[in-house]
Structure 1
Amino acid sequence: MEDDFSRAVEDGLKLSKRLVLPGGAAPPRPPAGMERYAAPDVASLLPVAPMAYAVVTDPAAVDSPDVPSYQPHVYGRLNPPALIPLQMREVDLRVDCAAGCATAEVTLRARWWLHCLTRSRDCDCRVVVPMGEEGSILGAEVTVGKISYNTHVIDVDDNNAVRIAKTEGAGLLKRQFFSLTIPKVVGGEDIFATIRWSQKLLYDNGHFSVDIPFRFPQYVNPLPKLFTKKEKIQLIVNSGVSKEVLLQGTSHPLKEKSRQGEKMCFLHEAVVENWSIKDFTFAYSVYSGDVSGGVLVQRSTLRDYDDRDMFCIFLLPGNKQNRKVFRKAVVFIVDTSASMQGKPIENVKNAISTALSELAKGDYFNIVTFNDELHSFSSCLEKVNEKAIENAINWMNLNFVAQGGTDIVHPLNEALALLSNSHETLPQIFLVTDGSVEDERNICHTLKTELTNRGSMSPRISTFGLGSYCNHYFLRMLASIGKGHYDAAFDTGSIEGRMLQWFQKASTTIVTNISIDATQDCQVFEVSPLLASLSGCHLSSCQEKVTSDLHIY
């Protein structure tokens, strides 16, 4: 998918050489690496900021709408179509961060114009939004002339829902990209878009941070003599606690506009020569020497599809450097089926080798590989020491061989058996796979029953998915049932780094089995474990107890 998209953009940039822009300006130059006979860098053509593209099938229609020029006629049609990046006239970014909710809600308002098509022709235009960590689209509204388009949430189980024909007009290109197509835009028209999405608010070593894709390539800048480019970024931070908040850094020159209790507002507004060439990043820390927390409440509004109220109860681990974490009994379950061959299995092996070296004295570990067969490093849990870790690494070098199929049930049962006697430690299972399995519902139901029967010190199950063909929804459910952490890597280059972050998050538990008793008036609970033992709940009208753990990230 990425290769096809990049080739279409490459073709679009070549087509844009036909344009004669107002003032006689030269057409945008393709990025380095796109000269004749040179293969373009795929990553350089993927959007790293919200972008709009003209979907061009007829190259003869490509011309400046304001200053038509003599163009030699071009015969034929483009299949697949070329994508010409549109110039952007306005951009306004708003970011709302709430520490307790562990998410940042992003609203981007932008105006593009179809600068590359003669006014006598029309074409489809495609808006692509790259989202940050664990991004999720919330909604989009687009206006072209007198016509407006907006996304709408439809309950697929509702028999009265409006029937909509299947279309490729909108959807996810990949985990990080959302795409929306606007039909039949006339050359020279303006496209006004408001796009909302949420992404994970990162927490590491006491620091909260957010990273919004906001790097615009040079060729989306209109001529400065014709258009004044005004860039506006608004940031609202709700720390959720009455502790001291320390700013750790920002990518753009923000000014503090207001501070009311736990809520702070920052603003950057300036006329610029070029649109931003770096992502918008912001980091802050909440100073507290001990565990602290709070409650955030959000009422539903008339525009919300979900009309229930929502609250978050969150805990922060504090800044004590000498805080102790639980001793651990860790079992790594690694998929060694044929699809893991090459770099994936090598990167997984390197990550586990590093993770083993980070285990503390007093911890226990084991390693289980699975394909059509099951192999264990040891018949029991091994105590962490230099000799045991060296033997484990040598064993992985011999036994991490990719072959066969994927059978996930037997290794999970083997790990549960190994952890049945976990030496008064916190038992944890780390599952790594790139495949899909059958009978997922039954696996989840069986594990949930098994973990419930084991009580408060049942094993935590954390899952890690590799590639786009993995059953990521199943891995999320498995991690949720096992009170663990889910993460994924969609390219081989990020496997090792993301696996280590995933392991560190799950292995730094300092408080376990935190319980929250619902009030008498709250009858229905829907719980989503988020950040650092933080529980986000939807309120409706039966009593229930919620349990979670607290980790240092």
Structure 2
Amino acid sequence: MLKVAKTRDGGLFRPDIFVLTIPQVEGGANISVKVRWSQKLLYNAGQFSLCVPFSFPEFVNPAAKVVSQTEKIELNINSGTSKELLCKNTSHPLKEIRRQAGQLGFLYEADVKAWSSTDFTFSYEISSHDSFGGFLLQSPLANDLDQREIFCFYLFPGNNEKTKVFKKDIVYLLDMSGSMQGKPLENVKHALFSALFELSPEDSFTIIGFNEEIHMFSSSLEVAKFETIEKAIQWTSDNLVARGGANILLPLTQALDILHNSSESVPLIFLVTDGAVEDERQICNVVKGHITNRGTISPRISTFGIGAYCNHYFLKMLSVIGRGCYDAAWELDSIEARLRRLFATASSVTVANITIDTLDHLNEVEVYPSCIPDLLSGIPLIVSGRYQGNFPGTLKASGLLEDNSSFETNLTVQKAKGIALDKVVARQQIEHLTAQAWYLESKQLEDEVAKLSIQNGLPSEYTRFLLIQTDTGNQNSELYGLQRVLSKINLQKAVDSKGPKIIVLQSLGFGFGNVAATADNAAPGFGETKMYDQGTNALVKAASRLCDCCCCMCVIQTCSAINNQCAIVLTQLCSALSCFGCLSCCAEVCCDF
């Protein structure tokens, strides 16, 4: 009879730590772990940067056993462009082994007496003074459920310091419901204060705090003079006090009315919330109708979610409709830094109303996101999609510049070589279709997302990860491996079938918010944090105190034989498994906006 373990046997302990309990490991057993994850490259001041945990606490060494300690890093960069790549900074002495147009290869390998105490960091830039872009094309794989061709459009802002950004009319919508009490609201205020001081004297703004009611700094836009900013900071400190419930439609409608007459500036709305409300689809419809009736530049709506009780797919959908940005903070300590980045990046519009010729002439074109966002000075613009038809050799992107003049640039078209473009598109496609499935309440789109998730091995809201016992041959020990993703439709069938033991892991999706928790003013967090046994809790806390990450994958690979206690420690504290928390990040080389 098939034994099915409960969900508690594996899942996310924190957003950055994945815990998996191995029921029994015999002494001297070999443990092999293989993990794949996607991680975004940060982009700042024209540079891409990568950071991978590469510092190891002392307890990763097998007890009473000397092993060969070798560190090895192989780094391959494929920018997808023909531009020259310039290495800027690196934490380890990398040796360049390959250099081609748009590509670099490095290697570091050393025998060491002690494991590295420095995380691996690397940054590079693409040499270009002005903005540039292109198209990457890839044919679908034979087993791809969608046999349409794949494309990825990118547009880089360049590093020209003279590039002008649009003047801004900004309305900040800040959640001040009871659940925001304490550190969440204080962090939001600090991020807002920093953003206000970054405004130009030509910009205008106002602030609206909301719970069941709205509290406005000014019923109209105020010029961002120093005196006005100081007055706004004092008003915010005195009047934005966390209490009551949440109503998002009322403040959002008020913000749209305030920005109704914006003509010479780009109108921006920033919505910050930690909760979910019942009328979210109605809110999307109201915003969609308002934007449709606007003139040349409609309000750009950027959203920021705090914790797991807000509906992140609602916020994502709202930002897509409003051609804005979306970001989220899953831990209280990250709220201020991530929100400051969102404020700064989404406010730096350099090219608006971007269109691409020829796309309308292709067959069955699907673009992710469906509304092409603006080009911002802080991040490259990356849009992917599917199509049928033939691309010409060159394309042209057009838009509107700050002085109302036209922007045009030619885009080169080339085949994607050495880039898993299908994976990039799949990640973006899953997120976009999930938001669409929620908004349209479409079971057909839910099934499509589940199929994409299964095909590409990427988590989604409609699939679950399973651990299936493998055939151990003559060995007595039980080995487990992450084998595939199954849709919920097929999950019960797999569980009920005769065969090896199956462990159903917790869902790695965001979920669609929690209206009840919001109504109860539950403090934001990473959802329903489940309690493991005392040993696991102690190990996770120890790992957090020592290095805020767990053991590295390469350490486990060096251990050919380890005892029971060390095996459990290594498995539960494996930083590679903790990187499952990074699966929510986009695979494309830009911030998750």
Scaled to the shorter chain, the TM-score interval is: 0.5 to 0.7
> 1:339: Cα distance to partner?
1.2
What is the alpha-carbon distance in structure 2 between the residues aligned to residue 372 and residue 212 of structure 1?
43
State the AA in 2 paired with 1:247: C
Displacement after TM superposition at 1:547 (Å): 9.4
Q: Within 2, Cα distance between the matches of 1:215 and 1:550?
A: 46
Deviation of 1:415 after TM superposition, in Å, equals 0.4
Aligned-partner Cα distance in 2 for 1:548–1:465:
30
Equivalent pair of 2:188/2:335 in contact (CA under 8 Å): yes
Work out the CA distance in 1 between the residues paired with 2:381 and 2:281.
26
Counterparts of 1:425 and 1:462, CA distance in 2? 16
Bigger Cα displacement from structure 2, 253-262 vs 424-433: 253-262
Report the equivalent of 2:302.
Answer: 462
* Partners of 1:412 and 1:296 in 2: CA distance: 38
| TM-score, normalised by the number of residues in structure 2 | 0.60
- Choose the corresponding residue for 2:105, options 248, 255, 265: 265
What SS does structure 1 have at the residue aligned with 2:37? strand
Q: Secondary structure at the match of 2:152?
A: strand
- Unaligned runs of 5+ residues in structure 2 are 374-378, 403-589
Name the aligned partner's letter for residue 524 of structure 1: V
Corresponding position: 1:397 with 2:237? yes
- Which residue of the partner structure matches residue 384 of structure 2? 536
Contact 2:367-2:383 at 8 Å conserved across structures: no
Task: Tell me by how many angstroms 1:173 deviates.
Answer: 3.2
| Aligned: 1:524 with 2:372 | no
Aligned CA distance change for structure 1 residues 460 and 454 (closer, same or farther; 3 Å) = same
Q: Residue 188 of structure 1 is aligned with which of 20, 28, 50?
A: 28
1:349 Cα offset (Å) = 1.6
The verdict on how the C-alpha distance between 1:541 and 1:252 changes in structure 2, with shifts beyond 3 A counting, is same
Q: 1:254 & 1:304 partners in 2: Cα distance?
A: 37
For 2:280 and 2:194, how far apart are their aligned partners in 1? 31
Q: Quick one: distance in 2 between partners of 1:275 and 1:298?
A: 41
Structure 2 residue identity aligned to 1:527: Y
Q: Give the structure with the higher percent helix.
A: 2
- The answer to whether the aligner puts 1:251 opposite 2:91 as a matched pair is yes
- Per the alignment, residue 27 of structure 1 pairs with none
> What is the alpha-carbon distance in structure 2 between the residues aligned to residue 187 and residue 270 of structure 1?
30
Deviation at 1:340, TM superposition (A): 1.2
Could you list the per-position Cα deviations for residues 487-517 of structure 1 after superposition, in whole angstroms to 9, with x for gaps in the alignment?
Answer: 2223333322221111111011111111124
In structure 1, what is the Cα distance between the partners aligned to 2:367 and 2:59? 46
* Matches of 1:335 and 1:436, distance apart in 2: 11
> Which residue does 1:119 correspond to in 2?
none
8 Å CA contact 1:207–1:285 kept in 2: the answer is: yes
The answer as to whether partners of 1:296 and 1:313 remain within 8 angstroms in 2 is: yes
The total of aligned residue pairs comes to 390
Going from structure 1 to structure 2, the CA distance change for 1:476 and 1:268 (only over 3 Å counts) comes to same
3-state SS, counterpart of residue 126 of structure 2: strand
Q: Contact between 1:525 and 1:540, CA under 8 Å: does it hold in 2?
A: no
Whether the aligned pair in 1 keeps the contact of 2:362 and 2:387 (CA below 8 Å) is: no
Mapped to 2, the partners of 1:308 and 1:272 lie a distance apart of 49
CA distance in 2, matches of 1:262, 1:291: 16
Q: TM-score, normalised by structure 1?
A: 0.65
Cα distance change on mapping 1:548 and 1:475 into 2, 3 Å: farther
CA drift at 1:302: 5.3
Question: How far apart are the structure 2 equivalents of 1:295 and 1:165?
Answer: 47
Deviation at 1:387, TM superposition (A): 2.1
Distance across 1 between alignment mates of 2:364 and 2:5:
38
2:213 is equivalent to residue 365 of structure 1: no
Instruction: Name 2:179's counterpart in structure 1.
Output: 339
Residue 323 (structure 1) aligned with residue 168 (structure 2): no
Please, which moves more after superposition, 472-481 or 430-439?
Answer: 472-481
Quote the Cα distance in structure 2 between the aligned partners of 1:524 and 1:224.
61
2:311 is aligned, of 463, 467, 471, to: 471
Q: Which residue is 2:218 aligned to?
A: 378
**How far has the Cα of 1:216 moved from its partner?**
2.1
For residues 339-381 of structure 1, what are the alpha-carbon distances to aligned partners after superposition, in whole Å with 9 as ceiling and x for unaligned?
1112222222222122111110211101111101111111211
The SS at the match of 1:172 is: strand
Q: CA deviation at 1:414?
A: 0.4
Q: How large is the Cα RMSD of the aligned pairs?
A: 3.1
2:348 counterpart of 1:508? yes
Change (3 A) 1:519 1:379: closer
1:303, CA displacement in angstroms? 6.9
CA–CA separation in structure 2 for the residues paired with 1:384 and 1:426: 15
Contact 1:230–1:270 at 8 Å: present in 2 too? yes
Contact 1:464/1:475 (8 A) holds in 2: yes
User: Match of 2:25, SS?
Assistant: strand
In the alignment, the residues of structure 1 paired with residue 162 and residue 28 of structure 2 have an alpha-carbon distance, to the nearest angstrom, of: 63
Give the Cα–Cα distance (whole angstroms) in 1 for the partners of residues 345 and 208 of structure 2: 21
Query: Considering only CA atoms, is the larger Rg found in Structure 1 or Structure 2?
Result: 1
**Distance (Å, rounded) in 2 between the aligned partners of 1:364 and 1:174:** 39
Give distance in 2, aligned partners of 1:169 and 1:309: 40
**C-alpha distance in structure 2 between counterparts of 1:316 and 1:398, whole Å:** 42
Other-structure match for 1:289: 129
**Unaligned stretches of 5+ in structure 1?**
1-163
1:248 deviates by 0.9
Contact 2:12–2:19 at 8 Å: present in 1 too? yes
Tell me how far apart the structure 1 counterparts of residues 322 and 190 of structure 2 sit (CA, whole Å): 25
Q: Which amino acid aligns with 1:209?
A: S
Judge conservation of contact 1:523–1:542 (CA < 8 Å) in 2: no
One-letter amino acid of the structure 2 residue matched with residue 387 of structure 1: E
- Aligned partner of residue 200 in structure 1, secondary structure: coil
Contact (CA 8 Å) 2:217, 2:235: kept in 1 or not?
A: yes
Q: How does 1:122-161 map to 2 (within 5 A)?
A: none
**CA distances 1:232-289 after superposition (whole Å, capped 9, x unpaired):** 2221111233333211111222211112322221112222333333222110011211
Deviations 1:398-422 (A, max 9, x none): 2111111010010000000000011
Farther off after superposition, 278-287 or 364-373 = 278-287
- 3-state SS of paired residue (2:262): coil
Which residue of the partner structure matches residue 204 of structure 1?
44
**Map of 2:275 onto structure 1:** 435
Contact kept? 1:221, 1:275, Cα under 8 Å: no
**In the alignment, which residue of structure 2 is the partner of 1:422?**
262
Structure 1 letter corresponding to 2:366: F
1: CA distance, partners of 2:160 / 2:62? 51
